Structures are given as structure tokens and as C-alpha cells.
Amino acid sequence: MFKYTLDNKRYHTLNYYYKNKYGKKAFKVSLNANFSCPHKDKTGRGCIFCSPLGAGEFAGDKHKDLITQFNEVKDMMERKWPNSYYIGYFQANTNTYAPVNVLKEKYETILNLPNVIGLNIATRSDCISKECYDYLEELNKKTDLIIELGLQSMHEKTAKLINRCHDLNNFEQAVKELQKRNIKVVVHIINGLPYETKEDMLDTVKYLNNLNIDGIKIHMLNIVKNTELAILYKNNPFHILTKEEYIDIVVTQLEYLNPNIVIHRLTSDPKKEDLIAPEWLLNKRTLINDIDKEMVKRNIYQGDKL
């Protein structure tokens, strides 16, 4: 059995990370703190794949206060995983896009709840001020803090196409600033971005492997309603990865990842009513099982190609 799993996976599971550290199950409680995004505010546009909910489709209701959101999401998830620890997950939009006093009030409202052992904060590498870095350093001394950065692709041509609005150097500097403060970094990437090849996607993983990140979230590009990507796809259709192509790419990416890197996600999780393509993403459990089966078939483990 792979040493960083408790359930016969061949990669470093998040379940293993938390159970090994805390002795029992921990799960994320997704929240919408009603932040905006500097990208949208400055340009009137976001990244072309970003929905009106700012990647917070399964977060809490932004019209409710954070404690109400937390309890509603937690109570639903506890039906599946009772007697667990909780991680407050600030998911929707850019969760460092506010003055530090506002961030402190929101983060610590959740951190002070019973059985909350950590915070995950999703943000952009170009939206962490010096004051925010200093505050995060202090926060990291009090809890299991993870900062999630959206890179999506290392390739500048793709970054321009998807309207990411920051370059690779900006991303690298953010990673270094966080690591200098001993703050764990998880990076989001997207497979299947328009016109990228398999080698392009492997290059992104190899690049991240050299940055000594702590975790990764691998997404499949999903085209959803009310996005610039949906318009692009309608007017200039591009190839959408098949399920088989996606599995092949993910399994190969895992072979290039250091086994110390925790795998937080292996696919996207779109809402059925919003999804335009690909439909095969709607059966998440089957997709994860098929990734596992392919790794067994090839007899490979995370990090085999290092």
C-alpha cells in the first residue's frame, strides 16, 4: 500500500493528511464571505471560466452570516462524517481582497468555533498585501492554515487567453513569500484549457513540483453558463478532453508529482443545471474510481517518474 493513504489509493490523499495529523476525519466547510475580486473590479472581467458565483457553487449562501453558513454546511456534511474536525474553507472569489481588519474579523469568527482545526483561504497571487502576509504569518501560528492559489497553467499564452491578469513571476513571488513564513501552499490547475496539449499540462505539474508546494487541486475545464468561456466555445469551438484523455493526463501528472504533495482534488464539481460541457464530469465518483483503476492497471504510484 502507498504510504500516504488509508484506503488503497496510489496517491497522497487529503484524508490521510488530516487523519495522520489529528487522529480522525476532518472535512472542509465551504463558505462565501461575500468578497469580490480585484480582477473583476478593475477590468470588468474575470477569468473567462469564472462563473458569477466566483467558483463558490457549493459554498454557503452569501446573504447569510458566516456562522449560519458554517452550521448549515457542517450539519449537512456531518450526516456522512459524524464526529469530525472542521476546516473553514473561504472559497468564493478572492478571499484576501479586503483590509486586514475585515479579514481578521471574518477568519477568526470561524476559527473560534468548536472543533475548527484549520482554515483554507482561496485567493490570487496578485492580491496579498504586505500587511496581509504579516497577518497570515501570525494566523499560521494559531491554526492549520493553507493558502490556495489559482495558477491554472504555467504557460503565458494560456494565461493571456483565460484573462488571468498576472504573470508567472507574480505567482512565484507569492509562493516564496508564503513559504518564507512557513505557510502551506495549495495550487489550483486546470486540465483541458483551450488549445493546450498533454505536454503543456504535464509541464505545469513539473513546474509546480520544483516549487515544493504542499498540495494541489487538479480540475477539468468545465464550461458553464454565463461565462466568457461559454461564448468562446459557442463561437469558436475547441477540443474538450474526453473522459479517457483526462484520466490519462491526470494519471501521468501524478507520476511526476513528489509523493509529499497532498492531492486535494482530482476533478471539477460543476452544478448540473449550469454545465454546458463535458457531461461526463457529472459522475464524479465514477471518474475518481476510473482514475484509481487506471493507476492499478499501469501499476504506478504518485512520484514514480521522479
Mean pLDDT of 286-296: 97
What pLDDT, on a 0 to 100 scale, did the predictor assign at position 59? 62
What integer best gives the mean pLDDT of the chain? Answer: 93
pLDDT digits (tens, 9 = 90+) for 12-55: 999 999 999 999 999 999 999 999 887 776 666 778 887 665 55
Q: What is the number of helices (H) and of strands (E) in the chain?
A: 11, 9
With cell 496579498, the residue in question is: 128
What pLDDT, on a 0 to 100 scale, did the predictor assign at position 254? 98
Rg, the chain, Cα only: 19
Q: How large a percentage of the chain has pLDDT more than 70?
A: 95
What pLDDT, on a 0 to 100 scale, did the predictor assign at position 200? 98
Q: State how far the Cα of 306 lies from the Cα of 303, in Å rounded to an integer.
A: 6
pLDDT digits (tens, 9 = 90+) for 184-212: 999 999 999 999 999 999 999 999 999 99
CB-based burial label for 172 (10 Å; 0-12, 13-18, 19+):
middle
Mean pLDDT of 271-288: 93
**Residue 215 bridge partners (DSSP):** 186, 262
- For residue 146, the one-letter residue type is I
Mean pLDDT of 3-10: 92
Contact indicator for 212, 185 with CB cutoff of 8 Å: no
pLDDT digits (tens, 9 = 90+) for 208-260: 999 999 999 999 999 999 899 999 999 999 999 999 999 999 999 999 999 99
Q: State how far the Cα of 113 lies from the Cα of 69, in Å rounded to an integer.
A: 12
pLDDT digits (tens, 9 = 90+) for 147-185: 999 999 999 999 999 988 889 999 999 999 999 999 999
Name the percent of the chain in helix, strand, coil, to the closest 5: 40, 15, 40
With cell 472559497, the residue in question is: 91
pLDDT digits (tens, 9 = 90+) for 255-275: 999 999 999 999 988 889 999
| pTM score, whole prediction | 0.95
- For residue 148, the one-letter residue type is E
- For residue 116, pLDDT over 80 is answered with yes
Contact indicator for 94, 36 with CB cutoff of 8 Å: yes
What pLDDT, on a 0 to 100 scale, did the predictor assign at position 41? 62
Q: How confident is the model at residue 140 (pLDDT cuts 50, 70, 90)?
A: very high
- For residue 57, pLDDT over 60 is answered with no
CB-based burial label for 253 (10 Å; 0-12, 13-18, 19+):
buried
Mean pLDDT of 5-10: 92
| Angle, helix 130-140 to helix 168-180, in steps of 10 degrees | 40
- For residue 107, pLDDT over 80 is answered with yes
- For residue 198, the one-letter residue type is K
Q: Helices (DSSP H) in the chain: which residue ranges? A: 14-22, 38-43, 66-78, 100-111, 130-140, 156-161, 168-180, 198-209, 228-235, 243-256, 284-298
Distance of CA 149 to the CA centre of its chain: 7
What pLDDT, on a 0 to 100 scale, did the predictor assign at position 58? 58
Closest CA to 64 of 34, 40, 42: 34
User: Domains in the chain and their CATH numbers?
Assistant: 14-298 (3.80.30.30)
**Residue 208 bridge partners (DSSP):** none
What single-letter DSSP state applies at residue 281?
G
